[in-house]
Structure 1
């Protein structure tokens, strides 16, 4: 009896994505995708990802993270979800300008730019036309901040209180000029 031939890697990848993707699960790391095709070489896998991008099967968000665009995903939350996937192994929370802007304490909001405090290293991740994710390092432990963080299930990240975000702004020497002090007192 002859063994059944495996479908082409591109078709297998498309089938796996079609089966796994949903509006809640639309971002995939290279490691996620690699797990679907463990038998092909590293070079062939890189070529496969490149071809999948050219065909529109995947869209590269940033290095190592891909979007499956054929599902109806929450476009306004993409950067937050990408940040959560990129730093899944670190302690992260929405803070600084993003938290203050969302709370209405900063008058001008940075467009397509989100700021998070992270136990990981400081990094700015450019996500093409999707926007930018800025990770600012913190050595604070989650237990010391527990009373000032709330989990935001839509963003899939922890979120700083206004008071914590303001302390983070000062501690990281960010520009405080756009902060409306009167609104800060009201939000506290």
Structure 2
């Protein structure tokens, strides 16, 4: 395929809001490519900087205008596509101020297998959970479509996995839970 044709297809995908690809979606974008050639092609294109290899089997168009500001969060659905994933643990508690340290990895819970992915935008760490996840109660859908734990769920998850419990500021944690629940209550009373 000519580079100009490829650029045209990537631009068309970008205009439709597609900035990341799996091998299957990239093959479909290009009209169907034999798997062995596709593997060679994606490697060559990532070596040339046309694509960025975000993780095994996930590629990003670095020039896509539709690429979100926080690409790392939006990669969750590509890394564990058939599972429920939500931002929780140290990441959520750090954002709420209940943990004073800023996390280096984006910490998430998943119904899939545990694992860690090193991406160009930072590490993503998945921890497995068997718990039933209730959207709207345990987790909320963010504007960008990602799921995020409530502060109460994040502390429950952290206690269950038993790590970094000594970093919790219990006073700020209680305030964060109360504030979040008050916000949720106010939103539920709006017409």
Q: Aligning the two structures, in what range does the TM-score lie when normalised by the shorter sequence?
A: 0.7 to 0.9
Equivalent pair of 1:13/1:33 in contact (CA under 8 Å): no
Matched, 1:161 2:118: no
1:5 is matched with none
What are the Cα deviations for residues 138-173 of structure 1, in whole angstroms up to 9, with x where unaligned?
Answer: 111224x6413211123x311111111111001011
1:114 is matched with 106
2:11 is matched with 18
Q: Cα distance 1:99–1:24, how it changes in 2: closer, same or farther (>3 A)?
A: farther
In 1, Cα distance between equivalents of 2:34 and 2:2: 11
Matched, 1:138 2:115: no
2:117 is matched with 125
RMSD: 2.0
Among residues 62, 78, 89, which one is paired with 1:85 in the alignment?
Answer: 78
2:176 is matched with 187
In 1, Cα distance between equivalents of 2:16 and 2:34: 30
Alpha-carbon shift at residue 109 of structure 1 (Å): 0.8
2:181 is matched with none
Among residues 68, 72, 75, which one is paired with 1:74 in the alignment?
Answer: 68
In 2, Cα distance between equivalents of 1:60 and 1:95: 25
Alpha-carbon shift at residue 16 of structure 1 (Å): 1.4
Stretches of structure 2 that go unaligned for 5 or more consecutive residues are 178-191
Number of residues of Structure 1 aligned to a counterpart in Structure 2: 176
In 1, Cα distance between equivalents of 2:68 and 2:140: 21
What are the Cα deviations for residues 79-112 of structure 1, in whole angstroms up to 9, with x where unaligned?
Answer: 111112222321111110011011111101113x
Q: Cα distance 1:22–1:101, how it changes in 2: closer, same or farther (>3 A)?
A: farther
SS state at 1:187 partner: helix
Stretches of structure 1 that go unaligned for 5 or more consecutive residues are 1-7
Q: Cα distance 1:123–1:100, how it changes in 2: closer, same or farther (>3 A)?
A: same
What are the Cα deviations for residues 100-149 of structure 1, in whole angstroms up to 9, with x where unaligned?
Answer: 011111101113x101111001111111x321111110111224x64132
Q: Cα distance 1:157–1:28, how it changes in 2: closer, same or farther (>3 A)?
A: same
In 1, Cα distance between equivalents of 2:88 and 2:110: 10
Q: TM-score, normalised by structure 2?
A: 0.83
